[in-house]
Homo-oligomer: A and B are copies of this chain.
Amino acid sequence: MRDIGVGLIGTGFMGKAHALAFRAARAVLGDVPTARLEILCDTPAERAEQMAAQFGFARATDDWRALVSDPAVEIVSITTPNRMHCEMALAAIEAGKHVYCEKPMGLTLDEARSMAEAAGRAGVKTMVGYNYIKNPAFEHARELIARDAIGTPVHFRGFVDEDYQADPELAWTWRARIDEAGLGALGDLGCHLVSMAYGLMGPVESLIADMQTIHETRPIPDGSGRGTVENEDVASALVRFANGAQGVLSTSRSAWGRKNRLGFEVHGTKGMIAFEQERMNELQLYQNEGPVAEQGFRTILTGPAHGAYAAFCPAPGHQLGFNELKVLEAGAFLREIAGGEKVGPDFADALEFEKVIHAIAASAREGRRVTVQG
Chain B: minimal CB distance from A93 (Å): 28
Q: Which of chain A's residues 281-296 have a Cβ closer than 8 Å to chain B?
A: 281, 283, 285-288, 291-296
Cα distance A58–B290 in the bound complex, in angstroms: 44
Stretch of A82-90, A308-316, A349-357 lying at the B interface: A308-316
A300 touches B293 (CB 8 A): yes
B321 touches A319 (CB 8 A): yes
Residue of A258, A295, A299, A367 ringed by the most chain B CB atoms within 10 A: A295
List chain B residues, Cβ under 8 A from A240: 210
Stretch of A16-24, A59-67, A171-179 lying at the B interface: A16-24
B267 touches A255 (CB 8 A): yes
B166 touches A26 (CB 8 A): no
Which of B267, B271, B301, B312 is within 8 Å of A259, CB to CB? B301
Task: Sort chain A's interface into a size bin.
Answer: 35 or more
Task: Please tell me if A43 contacts chain B, counting CB pairs below 8 Å.
Answer: no
Cα distance A30–B19 in the bound complex, in angstroms: 13
Residue of A30, A252, A314, A318 ringed by the most chain B CB atoms within 10 A: A318
Which of B166, B267, B323 is within 8 Å of A324, CB to CB? B323
Task: Please tell me if A47 contacts chain B, counting CB pairs below 8 Å.
Answer: no
A212 touches B312 (CB 8 A): no
Cα distance A159–B272 in the bound complex, in angstroms: 15
Taken together, the copies of this chain in the complex come to 4
A157 — nearest CB in chain B belongs to which residue? B250
A318 touches B279 (CB 8 A): no
Cα distance A370–B122 in the bound complex, in angstroms: 49
A150-B256, A298-B295 known; A212 and B315 CB under 8 Å?
no
Which of B234, B257, B316 is within 8 Å of A272, CB to CB? B257
List chain B residues, Cβ under 8 A from A367: 208, 369
Cα distance A238–B285 in the bound complex, in angstroms: 28
Task: Please tell me if A55 contacts chain B, counting CB pairs below 8 Å.
Answer: yes
Task: Please tell me if A269 contacts chain B, counting CB pairs below 8 Å.
Answer: yes
Which of B16, B167, B298, B324 is within 8 Å of A298, CB to CB? B298
B313 touches A155 (CB 8 A): no
Cα distance A180–B281 in the bound complex, in angstroms: 33
List chain B residues, Cβ under 8 A from A212: 155, 245-246
A259 touches B297 (CB 8 A): no
Which of B208, B288, B316 is within 8 Å of A208, CB to CB? B208
List chain B residues, Cβ under 8 A from A314: 12-13
Task: Please tell me if A71 contacts chain B, counting CB pairs below 8 Å.
Answer: no
Q: Which of chain A's residues 233-272 have a Cβ closer than 8 Å to chain B?
A: 234, 236-238, 240, 245-246, 248, 250, 252, 254-261, 265, 267-272
Task: Please tell me if A140 contacts chain B, counting CB pairs below 8 Å.
Answer: yes
Contact with B along A322-348 (1 / 0, CB 8 A): 111000000000000000000000000
Could you show 7 A-B contacts with beta carbons less than 8 Å apart?
A214-B269, A256-B267, A256-B288, A260-B315, A278-B281, A291-B305, A320-B322
Can you list the 8 inter-chain pairs with the closest CB atoms, starting with the nearest? A259-B317, A321-B321, A257-B286, A293-B305, A296-B300, A296-B298, A318-B322, A260-B317
* Residues of A participating in the B interface, judged by any CB pair closer than 8 Å: 12-13, 16-17, 19-20, 23-24, 26-28, 30, 34, 54-56, 140, 144, 149-151, 154-155, 157, 159, 162, 164, 166-168, 208-212, 214, 234, 236-238, 240, 245-246, 248, 250, 252, 254-261, 265, 267-272, 277-281, 283, 285-288, 291-301, 303, 305-306, 312-324, 367, 369
